[in-house]
Chain A
Amino acid sequence: AAGVIQSPRHLIKEKRETATLKCYPIPRHDTVYWYQQGPGQDPQFLISFYEKMQSDKGSIPDRFSAQQFSDYHSELNMSSLELGDSALYFCASIPPGNLGGYTFGSGTRLTVV
């Protein structure tokens, strides 16, 4: 069965650089959620999209932005990277009608040096 695909799997950036993380939800899933998980921390909600519109916003820095495209894939753009942005970034998708559970991707490990 198709899963949630995230790319890249690993990313190393320098401080003040920009990064773009991509998320491809399960086909026909119209809602995407982004989470950030720092070392030893629990996943923290960043932002979500439903039908290409932002549906909810969590503790996402102003330096970060995201969008969902017509094919439902989503991109998280991160600018002016800081050392503290080093974390695992997960996206998840759920099907229309919010039935069942979230399906998470394997994540992107971002390291800022």
Chain B
Amino acid sequence: DAKTTQPNSMESNEEEPVHLPCNHSTISGTDYIHWYRQLPSQGPEYVIHGLTSNVNNRMASLAIAEDRKSSTLILHRATLRDAAVYYCILIGGSNYKLTFGKGTLLTVNP
């Protein structure tokens, strides 16, 4: 499985934008970039995914580098409810299994 690298933790203030980076230099052409988040004692929650183009949904935006070796999850206005562990995961080919690595613990300050 192609690996991703994320910072262990990040901190933000409420109502400010948050940019969560992810490096995936060994990504292959068929790998999709998925982002999930997990709040304490809850199941992981799908946030967004993309292949090559930037993507937007009601929760966040995903900016993908032109060479696809990195991506950034953007929360436009962080709220206290966005405090969670964010996972960047590559899924590709016939194997659609999610393999969780070490995500980024996002702390949001009031």
Please indicate whether A and B come from the same complex rather than being unrelated chains. Answer: yes
A-to-B contact residues, CB < 8 Å:
4, 31, 33, 35, 42-45, 48, 56, 58, 88, 90, 92, 94, 98, 100-107
Q: Assess whether B49 is in contact with A102, with CB atoms less than 8 Å apart.
A: no
Bin the interface of chain B by size: 20 to 34
Q: Assess whether A33 is in contact with B97, with CB atoms less than 8 Å apart.
A: yes
Since A4-B43, A58-B97, A94-B96 are in contact, a sample of 5 more A-B pairs with Cβ atoms closer than 8 Å, ordered by chain A residue number, is A33-B97, A92-B98, A101-B46, A102-B46, A107-B42
Q: Assess whether A98 is in contact with B96, with CB atoms less than 8 Å apart.
A: yes
Considering only CB atoms, which chain B residue lies closest to A4 in the complex?
Answer: B43
Whether A42 contacts B95 in the complex (CB less than 8 A), given A101-B34, A101-B46, A104-B44, comes out as: no
B30 CB to closest chain A CB, in angstroms?
Answer: 12
A13 CB to closest chain B CB, in angstroms?
Answer: 19
Whether A102 contacts B98 in the complex (CB less than 8 A), given A43-B44, A90-B43, A107-B43, comes out as: yes
